[in-house]
Amino acid sequence: MTAKKTAFQVSHSRLTAASLRFRTREHISTNPVAPADLTATVYLALGIDPATEVNDAVGRPWKIADGTPLRQLFG
């Protein structure tokens, strides 16, 4: 006789399967994110255009972020 699983046991098994997929990093190969992308995302979240350039002491322009913002995080 097989006992029925409770709602907690079912959701726990789904969570475990999801964490196993996370640990295998299969999603990383389909959507890689670089540190520069995270930097650009933070600037965007703060309301600063990631394409902004600032000048150093010598007058050379520097981009504040080289990456592409992760706009899908903002829905």
Give the DSSP letter string of the chain.
Answer: -PPPPPHHHHHHHHHHHHHHHHHTTTTTTTS---HHHHHHHHHHHTT--TT-EEE-TTS-EEES--S---GGGG-
- Phi, psi of 53, rounded to the nearest 5 degrees: -115, 140
Q: What is the pLDDT of residues 2-59, one digit of tens each?
A: 666 555 554 555 555 555 555 556 656 677 889 999 999 999 999 999 999 999 999 9
Q: What is the pLDDT of residues 24-36, one digit of tens each?
A: 566 566 778 899 9
Which one, of 33, 41, 39, lies nearest residue 71 by Cα?
A: 41
Record the pTM.
0.59
